[in-house]
Structure 1
Amino acid sequence: MNGLFANKEFLALLQLEEIRKRKYFSEALSSSIEREFGIPSDTSSTVFLSLECGALLYWNLRKQDHANKKTVRKDLDRLTQKASELADMLSIMTGEAWRAIDSFQLAHDLSPALYPDQRGSKSSDAEATPPRLTKGDVVDLAAKLSALAETTKIATRMVGKGRVGRPEDDATLHLLHAAFQVWEAILRRPFKLDWTGDSEPITDAARFCVRIAQVVDPTISFGRIANASRTVREKSMAVSDLGLTPEIMKHYRKQFG
């Protein structure tokens, strides 16, 4: 596989414990779908872990109160700002500031009696002794705070400004977007959609959308799946090259944010 689906960061995301539990796409069910749609065994793991991501996102969005999107965005913006500010402060901490910290730690180690526990007499000696802080710890903390700031910034964009439609419509779009990416970017098949007048699937891509959607939520109607899959086909881009990531994110936010 090339591009995004061979990228280490993407594959690391698929290792998250919540996703690897395979709540929706168990090994047995995955094998059945693999046979039904002729999914190559060398792509099977990435296919179904990707769909598991889509399933988790679907239910997270279904549970999300869209009326609170403004509050969520505000909280995430504040967290992004504070994490970024603290990361910057740590990264430019002067030698004098670090020496002050180091001097305190050395003095505490040599004369702990001069620095009594401030949390009350019930604290044990182990609790009263602050952990030894190294410069490496500070550098590591700054890096983690920078990563947190970047993550919350992306999360803010994904929350979006809210859609006029129902929460389940928004969630279905994201679920079918995962199916679209699997079909086009991983399996390299055209996302050709044909439906009967009753919204029953005719083409393989349409049948795949129905199969995946009804595994995740058996109450999803053919009509909702048909409408969402058409919207996804019209507004989505197959993610196949990490070099296009900025354009893809811009496109994704514009269409689904």
Structure 2
Amino acid sequence: MGEEPLFELYGIVLGNGRIVISNEKMLKFSSRELFVIRKIISLFNDLNIKREKDIISSERGIHEIIFTSVSEDFDIEEIFERVSNAKINQKKAFLRGVYLGCGIISTPPSYHLEFRFEKDAERDFVSHILSQFKIKHSTKPGRIFIKGRENIKDFLYAVKAFHIYTELEEDAVEKSVLNEANRLANFEYANLKRQTDSASKEIKAIKSLIEKGKFESLDPDLKEVAILRLEYPFLSLRELSEKTKGRFSKQEIYYRLRKIESYGE
């Protein structure tokens, strides 16, 4: 895997990441869109970023993921330096991550793309990178604005959103762009909801077995899969299989979780 995913994650961290320090250092992300949280988790997994555990929660339409004891520091000054010295495609990936992290796009008749930042230093740095790609924009405290269809097209081209860029070549195409984005988002959401509902049932069954004192009587392979599900409640079956380093396939994980669920019931 190239370094583009790492720079995309840098952009998300800058636009959305929050350091939380209590008894341990934690990194928190939040979004109204569940697929953004899923994207962040996938990047952490694909980049093999070590952490102690993932804590996901949802309240009042806001989804949140907290990574505890993350092995990477994600120091903002270091991110600034690495992105400044990065290759063109890596900078594009960074801007793509910034958009995922804190970007908001409006609907017609006003074409309006906005980024929101907690610190003006972060705003100024992103503005500097946008200027390198000659993307016209304006700034206010904590904000970057890209206004007008042509300027938004320039940004979409820079971050390699070629499909939407092509459609924006046509007049009054915003409706079809939004419909396509909503269709993809709904499809992703439906998949994630099915996965989340299934994982919730599995965890409920495992906890039921533990409460009834029947967990220790499970076969060793069932116990191993159950512990894995408790440790990684929101990973997909494929990602759980990868955690076993080839011991169990995706289908074998599925079979064992269904068996555990039947025992819990």
- Greater relative CO (CA pairs within 8 A, separation 6+): 1
User: Which has the larger Rg?
Assistant: 1
Structure with more strand by fraction = 2
